[in-house]
Amino acid sequence: MVTLTLDRLSARYGRRQILTDISTPPLHGGQVVALLGPNAAGKSTLFRRILGLLEGEGEVRITGTRSERPIAYMPQDNGATAVLTVYEAVLLARMQGRRLKVADADLGEVDKALAELGIDTLAGRDIGNLSGGQRQLVGAAQALVQSPDILLLDEPTSALDLHRQISLLSILRRLAQERNMLIIAALHDLGHALRFADQALVIESGRLVDCGPCEQVVTPQMLRHTFQVEARIEPCSQGRPQLIVEAAI
């Protein structure tokens, strides 16, 4: 099973230090980890640093994988206007670093990724003509089609309607377990984090301030300190913890 450990990880853009000394216990495959933090806390930077797109001190240790490219990353959507169909855009993600010739197995993986996310009906559409939510699902398919051991998702639900937010997170949760995949998702909706994530990492001003099981990390104290909101966490009728926000401080 794949395991990811961050050891005293730092990153800087030019002279500006963005991440400082981020260390985590081993994060195991099969789990969903929510990456939480206010805007500009360094969540996207942490993803880019894990992926090796940014240099810095510290080490990203990955064990238990045979893949040459074990990590797939879904960045925030940028509304690209390439003249490509959805099918081509997803195939493209699968084929990076491979030969030009497309094998039937690759097409099979694309079919599977589109079907998993319920966007197989969009296959022939031009990506430039999709809504923001549809593009986000295509982005998720592009990450999934790479058959990664570790999946990094940067705000995967930010453009989705409520139904699709719940659906996507349910699917990701199921796939993490089925494929023993480690999913780390930057989420702004802490309710979703409580419902779908096993673990949570909280970063603030580029430093890791808490890390552990989601229910122990997402607390009224953390919400007050990190997000500046007064909130309660109470069990719902089914016993699941629910977040009730009262006011911004």
Partner 1 sequence: MAAAPSRAAAFAPAAADDANLYRRLVLRRQLILAALALALFASLCIDLALGPARFGLDQVIAALFTPGSVEDSLRVILWQIRMPVALMALVVGASLSIAGAQMQTILSNPLASPFTLGISAGASFGAALALAFGVTLVPALVDYAIPLNAFIMAMLTALAIHFLSMRRGVTIETIVLLGIAMVFIFNSLMALIQFFASQQAVSAVVFWTMGSLTKATWPKLGIAFAVLAVVVPLLARHGWALTAMRLGDAKAESLGVKPRALRLEVLIMVSLLAAIAVSFVGTIGFVGLVGPHIARLLLGEDQRFFLPGSALCGALMLSVGSVLSKVIIPGTIIPIGIITSLVGIPFFLFLILNHKKNAW
> Given the rule CB under 8 A, which residues bind partner 1?
14, 48, 51, 53, 69, 72-76, 78, 80-85, 87-89, 91-93, 95-98, 100, 104, 107-108, 110-112, 114-118, 120, 123-124, 126, 128-129, 139, 142-143, 163, 166-171, 173-174, 195-196, 198
Q: Report the nearest approach of partner 1 to the CB of residue 102 (Å).
A: 8
Residue 236 to residue 83: CA distance in whole angstroms? 47
What are the residues facing 151 on neighbouring strands? Answer: 72, 183
What are the residues facing 202 on neighbouring strands? Answer: 36, 210
Q: What is the DSSP letter of 70?
A: -
How far CA 221 is from CA of 14, 37, 225, in Å, comes to 34, 14, 6
Q: Report the nearest approach of partner 1 to the CB of residue 197 (Å).
A: 9
Q: Report the nearest approach of partner 1 to the CB of residue 81 (Å).
A: 6
Question: b or e along 21-43 (b: 16 or more beta carbons within 10 Å of the residue's beta carbon)?
Answer: ebebeebbbebbbbbbbeeebbb
- Nearer to partner 1 among residue 139 and residue 206 (C-beta): 139
Q: Report the nearest approach of partner 1 to the CB of residue 91 (Å).
A: 7
Residue 175 to residue 153: CA distance in whole angstroms? 14
- Nearer to partner 1 among residue 122 and residue 226 (C-beta): 122
- Nearer to partner 1 among residue 167 and residue 180 (C-beta): 167
- Nearer to partner 1 among residue 146 and residue 226 (C-beta): 146
